[in-house]
Structure 1
């Protein structure tokens, strides 16, 4: 286990270096000159050249990347071209909103997805199974921006029982929870659909296994069979889906944050891309990529506790 964690952490470092290079290259290849944007439309060419020199944008591409990589390895993500604020500080201010939204969304996804998937498997070919299938297809197909707009129209504008947007109250307060409901449902619906489909197929496979039939033959209560024997084994592939979806939610809050006016990392990234704020974009992407890989590492560790037969030492 320890050797696996060390190996994966080493792979994490190599992966993040590769991601940082791709993001750095794509930002520099994108149309638009950050120096010209900073200087403004009335700036002279000499003013633009001076800004390039002060930011190091006049150096060769590989030299710029090497300087950036050295700073990142020292914990320095640089400073915003637009606000002159430290990238680390800007992300630290916005990240709690993104994290709270992702956690609330995955909770919604797990509750809805597991309940729908398990009921669908136990009531195979019933109207509940059909409803779960339709829900799954709809949840995967409906765009977040459309679903978010409809929820705002119904619950915030017409019924006026939930706030339109924003996430400025602490999440543990009543106001904070109310602000999280609509964006969490918007973001978590797609993940709930995937969890429902996976839990259904996994549960169907498990309840047809020999040991489940043996337990029924011995007269074990059905609730014990499902809760003790079937659930634990059925959850192994579902854990993978939950882990991958949570990592995706951390990086996929961009549209939801825009719809609900949430000041998170996703919205920060959109603003930085529009203004060609290279350090802010690169820092945000590195954070999301790091969290995604760490979530997958945690899922691998959970695997061992759920199923001791799994070993990563070989």
Structure 2
């Protein structure tokens, strides 16, 4: 296992370099004047533009700019905005809120999705199965911003059960339950359907029939044999979904006024702050890569037949 993890970590290096370079190239190749609006209603003077280009290496070739950026990034320096604010400070302030929101969403989709999928997968066709299929199809068909606005209006304005905005930073856990449900609603529907299908398929497998024929208790057949093998595709989805939740939180954070990285990226795009967008997306790439590595390691725990040499 140790050699496998080391080999995977080495494989992550070229992937990280390739993805971050692509992100850097896309961000800094966008058309338009990056200094537009930086000096109010008047155009920025040439002296200011020349100073900023020299400070941010904008006159260098793109590959040279990327190399200098990565050298600074390896030292923990994310650079600074055109207004002189450290990007690392902005990320440090916003990232905990998005991490909390993503973890709440992941916990909700895992708890509700797995429970509903296991129950419908074990019981087979019936009222509960049809209700689950219709409910998940409804969530899949409904845009996230519609779900967010409906819950905000009904639970916040009409019933007064929740606060309509989460203005505190760091955001309290209890105030992130409804935003977390909104963020994870689509993935929750997919987890439910994936779990249901996986269990229904493995329920007819030979190893389950053998376990039943041996006279093993139903709880052991389901808990040890059926669920562990059925969990592999679900764990794969949940592991990779953590990065999706963090990167896709722009709409949810906007609806509930959560000061997270989604809001930070949105303001960075509007203000043409390339280093802000690049820094946030680079962190998301790291989350994706590490979560995929963790999922691969969990395979051997869930399925004893999987061994890494």
Both proteins in one fold, TM over 0.5? yes
How do 1:65-144 and structure 2 match up within 5 A?
Answer: 65-82=66-83, 84-144=84-144
Alignment partner of 2:161: what SS?
A: coil
**Segment drifting more, 149-158 vs 302-311:** 302-311
Q: So what's the TM-score if we normalise by structure 1?
A: 0.91
Q: So what's the TM-score if we normalise by structure 2?
A: 0.93
In structure 2, the CA distance between the partners of 1:68 and 1:111, relative to structure 1 (3 Å rule), is same
Distance 2:304 2:224 in 1: 16
**TM superposition shift of 1:170:** 5.7
Q: Which residue of 2 aligns with 1:203?
A: 199
Alignment partner of 2:37: what SS?
A: helix
Query: For this pair of structures, how many residues does the alignment match?
Result: 308
Moved segments of 4+, more than 6 Å: none
Distance 2:246 2:291 in 1: 10
Q: Which residue of 1 aligns with 2:147?
A: 147
The answer to whether 1:309 aligns with 2:305 is yes
Contact 2:120 2:128 in 1 (8 A): yes
Spell out, residue by residue over 1:169-190, the C-alpha distance to the aligned partner (whole angstroms, 9 max, x if none).
666xxxx233111111101111
**TM superposition shift of 1:92:** 1.3
The CA RMSD over aligned residues, in Å, is: 1.9
Q: Which residue of 1 aligns with 2:183?
A: 187
Contact 1:167 1:180 in 2 (8 A): no
Contact 1:167 1:179 in 2 (8 A): no
Q: Which residue of 2 aligns with 1:48?
A: 49
Contact 2:109 2:184 in 1 (8 A): yes
How do 1:282-293 and structure 2 match up within 5 A?
Answer: 282-293=278-289
Q: Which residue of 1 aligns with 2:261?
A: 265
Alignment partner of 1:35: what SS?
A: coil
**Segment drifting more, 206-215 vs 3-12:** 206-215
Q: Which residue of 2 aligns with 1:9?
A: 9
Contact 2:97 2:170 in 1 (8 A): no
Distance 2:88 2:26 in 1: 21
Q: Which residue of 2 aligns with 1:236?
A: 232
Structure 1 residue ranges without an equivalent (≥5): none
Contact 1:162 1:178 in 2 (8 A): no
**TM superposition shift of 1:220:** 4.0
